[in-house]
Structure 1
Amino acid sequence: MKYYIIAGEASGDLHGANLIKGIRANDPEAQVRAWGGDKMQENGADLVKHYKETAVMGYASVIKSLGKIRKNLKLCKQDIADYNPDVVIFIDYPGFNLRIAKYAKKNGYRTFYYIAPKIWAWKTYRIKAIKKYVDRLYSILPFEVDFYKSYNYPIEYVGNPLLDAIDAQLNRGELLDDFLKRHDLPHKPIIGLLPGSRRQEIKGLLPMMLRLKSHFPEYQFLISAAPGISEDYYAQFMDDDKNNNLIHNDTYQMVKHADACIVASGTAALETALIGTPQVAVYKVGGGILAHAVGRLVIKVKWATLVNLIMQKEIIKELLQKDFTFAKLKKELKAILPNGEKRANLLNQYQELYTKMGNTGASARAAESMVKRLKEDLK
């Protein structure tokens, strides 16, 4: 069968590559054409456009790129028509993908969506388009099943691909001494800092995080360096003290060995929880669009982190916007360090979270279901 897959970001490229592996395992003769990246191409996809050519971040960039977006939409529609696939599969990237889903459905193509748009946080109105133009939606967050059920739209929870990423990349057997030697670090316990992947996030979070150093002198503070952010950018927030170090391309191991982490609310908070390290989730940006977006998120849902949303209760402390103060941060960090009053309960809650998330193999299960449904439709 012929598959047309559309992913618009680096994470979508990774999940798309794993999905292609699963499709080929269930359909050895599968032909795949895709919008994605290197990983999808390495797994046999005939690549139409690389996500680096199509990615648009932020409202200002969208406005400036309207011409490019329209051109890509037109190209994608024409390419689908020329390729004539048995199914069009969408991976996240809702702004683009829901427009293509409308075109594909109206022109008689089967439509599957893997990694549901987060309409429970914002843009709930998109449920109308999903119900109208998406034949089957595959979710990676367990609470989404009930959310979509409330709109009379059944979806399939297949597990979360983060479990696969952690399973593949994390060396759980590595000793702390080996990690410290590998990074030329002193033999001191670790507090991990994950201040986000964007400059505005880092600027808003890292200075406050680093103020904690003098209050926890027995610890070394290690900072997870984001790809694409120069060391010079981090340096403006750091002093010459060697008690804070940038860790490049080794975040999972840093988190594993840390006694606790302070994490910018986002995917990293869920990754930290699945690795099993106690954390405080934080977020603060200035005024303008980003602050407004955070405000809308807090209003729409009861919690901002996926960890608490999945558990449907607060198991990790969220210090967002005005609650992100030094006094609160210091108090919450102390509570989750060894001998802290919240640590044992938090670790127990992590075990419950892991059970709720299911097993590894999310992409493989999604692919198996997709191929099975297509074969049934073609009988």
Structure 2
Amino acid sequence: MLLFVSAGEPSGDLRAAELCRELSARSPGIGFFGLGGDDMEASGVDLSAHLEEFSVMGFSSVLKSLGRILSLEKRLRRECLERRPDAVLLVDYPGFNLRMARWASRRGFPVVYHISPQFWAWGGWRARGMARHVDLVTTLFEFEAGFHAALGVDAVWCGHPLVESIPRPSPGGGDIALLPGSRPDEVERLMEPMLGCVELLRRAGDRREAVVAVSRTVPGALYSKASALGCRLVEGTSAALSSARAALVCSGTATLEASLHGVPFVLMYRTSPLNYGIARLLVRGVDRICLASIASGRTVAPELIQGDATAEKAFDAVLPLLGDTRERRDALEAAGAVRDALGPPGAAGRAAEAILRKLQEMNVV
């Protein structure tokens, strides 16, 4: 059996790699090719294109890179037609993968979507559109499976694999962790206010070490100011969080990681005015952007968005989390609720079993 796999972001690359390993363990002889990164390649996927070729975020960045993206998309579709995979496995990255789902289903390829796009924020109209082109959706959060099922999609809740990779809170330490994101745009916009917060802490007499989580997909030059300020640079969010007492965190999966590590944090988010304006028009029924808060159904962290994501406001929000305060105790309690909401260990294995079961029903396996 041969699967085309598509993951266009670092987080999706990791999740796809885990899933491919679990599929290989349950179906010896299975093969993979497609769009991904170093983790997928290490798990045995034959890369047709590297995710760095698709590394854009936000509406304005996509518009600037549209010609290049469409050219790569055409190349991947041509390879699918040449190699004729038994099924198409799409992982997150909705901008590209939803188009791929529509294209693949119209040509008779079974389509599985692993890690559902966050349609509960964007509105049901996109989920209804996806339902016409996807045979199975596997979700990270329980409420997502219910959302898709109500719209007629075959959906299975598998849980979140982070629970397995972070099985217990870290012992912690005294550092402040800075997690500015995994994309160049994010780091460029958030590094300055995060470092400004560190400077304000130092002026207030707090000399704790600042640890910056570095992403392999971000040019090193974007971390130069952090180095000049004497921050310690480490690769990956877990390395930064393992010695942290509190953190400043970009939106997204990093908020779940901070919660699982038991590190109270402040969420910071900045994007271009155009991206933010379009998002505000499209997003419906969501009053917060912190994924940890959405998953657990409670407020896990303060949110500093756009103009509020300043050094001064970050300082005011993070300072209570560094001491022995009620704010810190409440944050630690909320972190425990996040872990409960993500399900038991073994998410990738459950997803692999659900996918193979569905393909067997469709006479693919």
- TM-score calculated relative to the size of structure 2: 0.86
Secondary structure of the 1:335 match is helix
CA distance in 1, matches of 2:360, 2:74: 30
Tell me if structure 2 keeps the 8 A contact 1:205–1:284: no
Tell me if structure 2 keeps the 8 A contact 1:102–1:129: no
Counterpart among 237, 258, 261 of residue 247 in structure 2: 261
Following TM superposition, by how much is the alpha carbon of 1:306 offset from its aligned partner in structure 2, in angstroms?
0.4
Deviations 1:213-256 (A, max 9, x none): 2225253333334446566644547876xxx5132215423312
Letter in 1 for 2:13: D
Aligned to 1:200: 189
Does residue 19 of structure 1 match 2:19?
yes
CA distance in 2, matches of 1:230, 1:208: 22
Following TM superposition, by how much is the alpha carbon of 1:212 offset from its aligned partner in structure 2, in angstroms?
2.6
CA distance in 1, matches of 2:179, 2:38: 26
Letter in 1 for 2:144: E
Cα distance change, pair 200–289 in 1 and its aligned pair in 2 (3 A): same
Secondary structure of the 2:206 match is coil
Structure 2, gaps ≥5 residues long: none
**How many residues are aligned here?**
360
Following TM superposition, by how much is the alpha carbon of 1:305 offset from its aligned partner in structure 2, in angstroms?
0.5
Does residue 352 of structure 1 match 2:333?
no
Aligned to 1:316: 301
Cα distance change, pair 319–69 in 1 and its aligned pair in 2 (3 A): closer
CA distance in 2, matches of 1:171, 1:270: 12
Does residue 377 of structure 1 match 2:362?
yes
Letter in 2 for 1:265: S
Counterpart among 271, 288, 303 of residue 257 in structure 2: 271
Following TM superposition, by how much is the alpha carbon of 1:360 offset from its aligned partner in structure 2, in angstroms?
2.6
Cα distance change, pair 270–125 in 1 and its aligned pair in 2 (3 A): same
Letter in 2 for 1:220: E
Tell me if structure 2 keeps the 8 A contact 1:101–1:134: yes
Tell me if structure 1 keeps the 8 A contact 2:177–2:210: yes
Secondary structure of the 1:133 match is coil
Matches within 5 A, 1:121-140: 121-122=121-122, 124-140=124-140
Aligned to 1:183: none
Secondary structure of the 2:266 match is strand
Secondary structure of the 2:142 match is coil
Following TM superposition, by how much is the alpha carbon of 1:304 offset from its aligned partner in structure 2, in angstroms?
0.7
Tell me if structure 2 keeps the 8 A contact 1:17–1:43: yes
Secondary structure of the 2:325 match is coil
Counterpart among 259, 263, 266 of residue 280 in structure 1: 266
Counterpart among 195, 200, 203 of residue 211 in structure 1: 200
Does residue 28 of structure 1 match 2:57?
no
Cα distance change, pair 294–267 in 1 and its aligned pair in 2 (3 A): farther
Letter in 2 for 1:221: A
Query: RMSD of the TM alignment (CA)?
Result: 3.0
Cα distance change, pair 345–63 in 1 and its aligned pair in 2 (3 A): closer
Following TM superposition, by how much is the alpha carbon of 1:337 offset from its aligned partner in structure 2, in angstroms?
2.8
- When Rg is computed on C-alpha atoms for both structures, the one with the higher figure is 1
Cα distance change, pair 294–262 in 1 and its aligned pair in 2 (3 A): farther
Tell me if structure 1 keeps the 8 A contact 2:135–2:153: no
Letter in 2 for 1:317: P
Following TM superposition, by how much is the alpha carbon of 1:309 offset from its aligned partner in structure 2, in angstroms?
0.3
Following TM superposition, by how much is the alpha carbon of 1:9 offset from its aligned partner in structure 2, in angstroms?
2.3
Cα distance change, pair 251–2 in 1 and its aligned pair in 2 (3 A): closer
Cα distance change, pair 5–329 in 1 and its aligned pair in 2 (3 A): closer
Aligned to 2:6: 6
Cα distance change, pair 96–195 in 1 and its aligned pair in 2 (3 A): closer
Matches within 5 A, 1:167-246: 172=170, 189-197=174-182, 198-217=187-206, 219-227=208-216, 233-236=222-225, 244-246=230-232
Counterpart among 219, 228, 235 of residue 249 in structure 1: 235
Structure 1, gaps ≥5 residues long: 177-188
Tell me if structure 1 keeps the 8 A contact 2:111–2:134: yes
Cα distance change, pair 101–376 in 1 and its aligned pair in 2 (3 A): same
Cα distance change, pair 325–254 in 1 and its aligned pair in 2 (3 A): closer
- TM-score calculated relative to the size of structure 1: 0.83
